[in-house]
Amino acid sequence: MNLAPYAADDRRAARGRRHQEPRSGHRSEYQRDRDRIIHSSAFRRLEYKTQVFINHEGDLFRTRLTHSIEVAQIARTMARSLRLHEDLCEAVALAHDLGHTPFGHAGQDALNGCMKPYGGFEHNAQSLRVVDELEDKYAEFRGLNLMFDTREGILKHCSEARARELGDIGERFLLRQQPGLEAQLANRADEIAYNNHDIDDGLRAGLIGFEQLRAVPLFKRHHDEVLHRYGNISAKQQRHETTRRLMNTLIVDLMQTSARAIEAAGIDSIDAVRAQPRPLIQYSPDIEAENIELKRFLFKNLYQHHEVYRIMDKAKRVIRELFAALFADPRLLPPDFHQATEGQNEPVRARVVADYIAGMTDRYALDEHERLFDPRRLR
């Protein structure tokens, strides 16, 4: 593997796994992490978790699983160009949403509100909790025992108070250091994926239209190119041809600008990456400005669309009512979760309830809500 000197390298990583294990004879340690993530139960559940649209609304809309696969594909493409560790980028990309609640950001907001008195809830921190503690199938340790660099990439954001509780993985937030380039790249790949597939899903659902999107320069430029080249093509073809061009522009600009930033800063090691005042994986100023405008458009016109809002308002009520009932009477929890609350104080009990709810799929949350609140459901 022809890695750049500033790439993460499992063969000389300063910090490895929390629990020492013999090295694999035929896989990189980051590839091993990737494989453990794919075989986790939390990863399988992503198939039935909302991206923007509730899972049962249609088979063609993205889920957390398809989103994570798209992020991994984009991340590997850019990692290869920048000579970063592709396996690490893929592992971070596939794991970054493992802790996400049912019902997307609406579910996270609702659960965070419920958990405010007990430290709050944030899905990146929960993803780390999933791989460190909640996946429980190995005899010698809890969690998946992932490499430090993989865990670092999963934890994109963290408050100072939370960072102090996390030991080595929270250290960079206290020291104001940057994560490795693989983590930075996976973060940007996440943004590229969800912006573009949300355009695609939003157009397909009829919640936004081409004319609306043409108010966004980044979209209009590529849509004009498609119309000029192909003329009268179907809406489906327009949607695909435009979003693929838009995605390519973002990816190419990010790779080229980042390569120049790395060279200009004289980066020759991962320690030099960490010491930088800002991330090195970055867009050019013009593309950054256009990308921000696109994100603002999607927030206002898609994520705040009244049809999406109404559905997500219902989803928030489901989460809040589940939390209230389960926290008030932990005996309603499955036996293993109930056992974890026995003899514990309120913050610990609340965290156990949050773990249970965050692990639910959309349809399981709806079914559980019905089981708890519909007197006609006895089981």
pLDDT at 59 over 60: no
pLDDT of residue 3: 94
Among the residue ranges 56-65, 245-254, 298-307, 340-349, the one predicted with the least confidence is 56-65
Per-residue model confidence (pLDDT) at position 168: 86
Protein fold of 29-307: Hypothetical protein af1432 (1.10.3210)
The whole-number pLDDT of residue 167 equals: 84
Confidence of residue 61 (pLDDT cuts 50, 70, 90): low
What is the 3-state secondary structure of 82-144?
HCCCHHHHHHHHHHCCCCCCCCHHHHHHHHHHHHHHHCCCCHHHHHHHHHHHHCCCCCCCCCC
- Rounded to two decimals, the pTM is 0.92
**What average pLDDT does the structure give for the chain?**
92
Match 């949300």 to its residue by tokens.
Answer: 198
What letter would DSSP give residue 157?
Answer: -
pLDDT in tens, 101-151: 999 889 999 999 999 999 999 999 999 999 999 999 999 999 999 999 999
Q: What's the half-sphere exposure (Cβ side, CA atoms, 13 Å) at 277?
A: 1
Residue 56 pLDDT exceeds 80: no
Distances (CA, A) of 361 to 99, 191, 204: 11, 23, 23
Confidence tier at 306 by pLDDT (50, 70, 90): confident
pLDDT score recorded for residue 58 = 46
For position 160, what pLDDT does the model report? 81
Q: Residue 351 pLDDT more than 60?
A: yes
Give 364's pLDDT tier (boundaries 50, 70, 90).
very high
**Gap between the Cα atoms of 329 and 179, Å rounded:** 41
Domain extents in the chain: 29-307
